[in-house]
């Protein structure tokens, strides 16, 4: 006698860790693109006039590593629950915000474009907020995992603005 209960298809159960590895790889690839622009970021950051509330350069690596890990897990949770076909918009927004995230490092640290970096971080913030909303609708924990990211980028936007205003020559 067959049961009327539906089971998850085998293809959705197999190899969940491969999906996690793929989302983490994509996320950390974006981090690597951004970090290429940040190779000399510590030296440049120390040259800048900074507000008293600016964190030391040594904080950024560990904070971003933790954030990227949470971001990758969040994307995986959404993907695992809905696959690409069921979460296309949310996962596309995720990829877009990864690109924007990497771009900010180039604008600020490599090209020293403070005003453009500020405008870009505001667009990034909006993309993260949208992504958080979409992820939370798709899988609650995934949305919660993006809250620290949004908080950090909120702080980064304020810092970007302040650094740009305090360093008009270095961040033209």
- CATH number of domain containing 154: 1.20.1260.100
Instruction: Determine, yes or no, domain membership for 135.
Output: yes
Instruction: Determine, yes or no, domain membership for 119.
Output: yes
- Structural domains of the chain, count: 1
Position 3 scores a pLDDT of: 44
pTM score: 0.89
Query: Largest Cα–Cα distance in the chain?
Result: 78
Position 1 scores a pLDDT of: 44
* pLDDT tens digit sequence for 56-100: 888 999 999 999 999 999 999 999 999 999 999 999 999 999 999
Position 42 scores a pLDDT of: 84
154 Cβ neighbours under 8 A, 6+ residues apart: 125
Instruction: Determine, yes or no, domain membership for 8.
Output: no
Instruction: Determine, yes or no, domain membership for 6.
Output: no
Instruction: Determine, yes or no, domain membership for 172.
Output: no
Instruction: Determine, yes or no, domain membership for 3.
Output: no
Instruction: Determine, yes or no, domain membership for 65.
Output: yes
Q: Report the alpha-carbon distance of residue 162 to residue 108 in Å, rounded.
A: 13
Rounded alpha-carbon distances, angstroms, from residue 51 to 46, 82, 116, 122, 162: 12, 44, 20, 20, 7
Q: Can you give the pLDDT of all 172 residues of the chain as single tens digits?
A: 444 444 444 445 557 799 999 999 999 999 999 999 988 888 899 999 999 999 988 899 999 999 999 999 999 999 999 999 999 999 999 999 999 999 999 999 999 999 999 999 999 999 999 999 999 999 999 999 999 999 999 999 999 999 999 999 999 8
> What residues make up the domain containing 120?
16-166
């Amino acid at each position: 006698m067959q049961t009327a209960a539906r089971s998850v298809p085998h293809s959705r159960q197999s190899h969940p860790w491969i999906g996690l590895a793929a989302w983490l790889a994509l996320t950390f690839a974006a981090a690597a693109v951004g970090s290429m622009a940040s190779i000399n970021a510590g030296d440049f950051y120390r040259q800048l006039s900074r507000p008293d509330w600016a964190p030391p350069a040594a904080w950024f690596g560990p904070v971003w590593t933790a954030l990227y890990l949470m971001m990758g897990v969040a994307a995986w949770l959404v993907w695992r629950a809905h696959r690409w076909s069921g979460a296309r918009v949310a996962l596309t927004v995720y990829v877009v915000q990864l690109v924007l995230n990497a771009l900010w490092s180039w604008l600020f640290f490599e090209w020293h474009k403070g005003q453009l970096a500020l405008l870009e971080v505001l667009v990034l913030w909006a993309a993260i907020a949208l992504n958080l909303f979409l992820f939370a609708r798709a899988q609650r924990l995934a949305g919660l995992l993006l809250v620290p990211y949004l908080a950090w980028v909120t702080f980064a936007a304020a810092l970007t603005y302040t650094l740009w205003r305090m360093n008009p020559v270095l961040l033209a």
